């Protein structure tokens, strides 16, 4: 039998300072969702006593975290003073690391990006040049913080496979294709003085949509599919991101949609990534082109996903079939995920969202044929392809970190 004295115990106990931070965090989050609410409404919504609300709001006002917005119509018709977060005081930096591109920007706490945006191409992200990418990120963070002294945290979104516990990305180690985890978070923190948090790009996309497109609706279960050169996914349910032990639980690109099917980059067969990513659609187009000499795609030296979408919009039969088939496979994946997560909303973002109604037709066809009648079909939305939800989500990661630590990051020096 294990001695209770030597057994590992999770440190879930809360000291007085921890509880004070939790209460401040609860109020800040509520104000982020319900701007202009009163002290009385805060007490009712958070369950804190009126005296506690008064004390916390006084500290938040004194430190410039909260401002009063004037009188509003309160409970039972009584006039009350409304409260709002001071959105002009703080900013965060969002960083999106893709396989061949780096994007960075400064955001306010509403998720609005400044004009000071940095974007550049990268040599394909692999172990030999990963440290150079980290150095570039650190250099640009220094430039942005010099221009924006109100920056309080940095959020970084990285491609998968991603080890959440270690903040590490699975990168190619040499020309032979072997892979190792690169400690992205550790490397950035060693170069940056600000607090830095990191997460999977698809989870960032889910958070970006949930935070700033649904106004942090805690009642909503949202499933986000990052459909680009690869396929990733993120799930937000009751305000929480659903992850596994290592952060892999929403790797939707590697769920099986066709047993024994096409080989995937992960080494498996029949993965959604091998059927519905932009790269997979391009490869399938090259396989089918000899059978369709009359297609608008015929004769091109290299068929890219933009060519396919352009031909689809002009009614090309092959291009429409390629996009619809990708949608069918997405729908097959959703038919398996809906009974597990029961989402209210499915959001498809990035490159494949250009598939528009043709992609949606394939998804809906698969759901009609595959989804059990026991489950309600969720609303399915194609995000605006110009809306970079992953970059936005990297800012949400940083904002969430600040809201979790308000005493340290929003009101340093306060007791």
What pLDDT digit, counting tens, does each position of 335-350 carry? Answer: 999 998 999 999 999 9
Distance of CA 115 to the CA centre of its chain: 22
For residue 137, which of 153, 123, 150, 119 has the smallest C-alpha distance?
119
Return d(Cα 67, Cα 83) in angstroms, integer.
6
Same domain, 245 and 342: yes
Does 9 map to a domain?
no
Same domain? 157 vs 78: no
The residues, any chain, with a CB within 8 Å of residue 76's CB and separated by 6 or more, are none
- The answer to whether position 103 is within a domain reads yes
Both 155 and 185 in one domain: the answer is: yes
Is-contact 319 308, C-beta < 8 A?
yes
CA torsion, ordered 300, 305, 311, 315, to nearest 10 deg: 140
136 contact partners, CB below 8 Å, separation of at least 6? 102, 120
Residue 346 near residue 334, CB atoms below 8 Å: yes
> pLDDT for 99-141, tens place per residue?
888 999 999 999 999 887 888 887 777 777 888 899 999 999 9
| Opening angle at CA 205, ends 204 and 206, nearest 5 | 90
* Rounded Cα gap, residues 323 and 312, in angstroms: 8
Whether 13 is covered by a domain: the verdict is no
Same domain for 303 and 362 = yes
Q: How big is the CA angle at 75 (ends 72 and 76), to the nearest 5 degrees? A: 115
8 Å CB contact between 239 and 216: yes
Q: How many domains does the chain have?
A: 3
Q: Whole-angstrom Cα distance, residue 43 to residue 57?
A: 11
The DSSP element (H or E) to which 46 belongs, if any, is: helix 39-46
E strand or H helix at 408, and its extent?
Answer: helix 406-409
Euclidean distance between CA atoms 308 and 193, whole angstroms: 45
Q: Which of 338, 344, 357 is nearest to 255 (CA)?
A: 338
Domain of residue 166, CATH code: 3.30.420.40
- The CA–CA distances, whole Å, from 415 to 17, 41, 43, 89, 405 equal 9, 25, 21, 20, 13
Q: Looking at the structure, do residues 396 and 336 belong to the same domain, yes or no?
A: no
Residue 3 located in a structural domain: no
**Could you tell me if 162 and 219 lie in one domain?**
no
**Domain contains 8:** no
Measured distance CA(38)–CA(255) in Å, rounded: 47
157 within a domain of the structure (yes/no): yes
Indicate whether 247 and 359 sit together in one domain.
yes
Which residue segment(s) compose the domain that 403 sits in? Answer: 91-207+392-409
Which string of b and e fits 214-244 if b means at least 16 CB within 10 Å?
Answer: bebbeebbbbbbbbbbbbbbbbbbeeebbbe
DSSP H helical ranges for 93-200: 127-147, 184-189
Given 61, 85, 109, the domain boundary residue is 85
Close Cβ partners of 294 (under 8 Å, ≥ 6 residues apart): none
Which CATH number goes with the domain that contains 67? 1.10.10.10
Q: Which pTM does this prediction carry?
A: 0.86
Asked whether residue 244 is assigned to any structural domain, the reply reads yes
Using alpha carbons, select from 133, 196, 190, 198 the residue that is nearest to residue 164: 198
Q: Is residue 58 part of a domain?
A: yes
In terms of Cβ atoms closer than 10 Å to its own Cβ (0-12, 13-18, 19+), residue 97 is buried
pLDDT, one tens digit for every residue, the chain (415 residues): 434 334 444 455 556 567 888 999 999 988 888 888 888 888 888 888 999 999 999 999 999 999 988 776 655 556 678 899 998 899 999 999 988 889 999 999 999 998 878 888 877 777 778 888 999 999 999 999 999 999 999 999 998 778 888 888 888 775 556 778 889 999 999 999 999 999 999 999 999 999 999 888 888 899 999 998 889 899 999 888 887 766 565 678 889 999 999 998 778 899 999 999 999 999 999 999 999 999 999 988 899 999 999 999 999 999 999 999 999 999 999 999 999 899 999 999 999 999 999 999 999 999 999 888 888 899 999 998 788 999 999 999 999 999 999 989 988 866 6
């Amino acid at each position: 039998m294990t001695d209770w004295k030597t057994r590992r115990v999770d440190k879930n106990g809360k000291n007085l300072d921890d509880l004070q931070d939790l209460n401040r965090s609860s109020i800040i989050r509520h104000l982020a969702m319900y701007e202009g609410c009163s002290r009385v409404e805060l007490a009712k919504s958070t369950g804190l006593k009126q005296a506690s609300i008064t004390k916390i709001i006084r500290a938040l006002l004194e430190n410039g975290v909260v401002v009063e917005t004037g009188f509003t119509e309160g409970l039972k018709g009584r006039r009350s003073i409304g409260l709002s977060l001071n959105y002009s005081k703080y900013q965060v930096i969002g960083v999106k690391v893709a396989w061949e591109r780096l994007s960075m920007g400064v955001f306010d706490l509403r998720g609005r990006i400044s004009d000071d945006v940095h974007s550049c191409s990268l040599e394909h992200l692999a172990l030999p040049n990963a440290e150079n990418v980290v150095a570039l990120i650190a250099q640009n963070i220094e430039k942005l913080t010099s221009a924006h002294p109100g920056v309080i945290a940095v959020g970084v979104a990285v491609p998968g496979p991603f080890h959440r516990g270690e903040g590490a990305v699975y990168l190619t180690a040499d020309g032979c294709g072997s892979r190792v985890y690169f400690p992205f978070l550790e490397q950035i923190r060693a170069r940056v003085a600000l607090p830095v948090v990191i997460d999977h790009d698809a989870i960032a996309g889910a958070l970006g949509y949930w935070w700033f497109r649904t106004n942090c609706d805690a009642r909503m279960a949202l499933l986000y599919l990052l459909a680009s050169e690869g396929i990733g996914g993120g799930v937000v349910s009751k305000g929480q991101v659903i992850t596994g032990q290592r952060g892999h639980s929403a790797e939707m690109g590697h769920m099986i949609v066709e047993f024994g099917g096409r080989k995937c980059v992960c080494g498996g067969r029949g993965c959604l990534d091998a059927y519905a990513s932009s790269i997979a659609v391009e490869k399938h187009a090259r396989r089918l082109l000899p059978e369709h000499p009359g297609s608008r795609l015929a004769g091109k030296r290299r068929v890219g996903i933009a060519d396919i979408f352009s031909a689809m919009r002009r009614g090309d039969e092959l291009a429409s079939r390629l996009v619809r088939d990708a949608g069918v496979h997405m729908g097959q994946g959703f038919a398996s995920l809906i009974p597990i997560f029961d989402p209210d909303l499915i959001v498809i973002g990035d490159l494949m969202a250009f598939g528009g109604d043709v992609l949606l037709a394939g998804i809906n066809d698969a759901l009609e044929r595959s989804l059990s009648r026991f489950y309600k079909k969720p609303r399915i939305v194609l995000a605006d392809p110009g809306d970079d939800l992953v970059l936005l989500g990297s800012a949400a990661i940083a904002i969430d970190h600040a809201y979790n630590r308000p005493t340290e990051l929003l009101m340093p020096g306060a007791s």
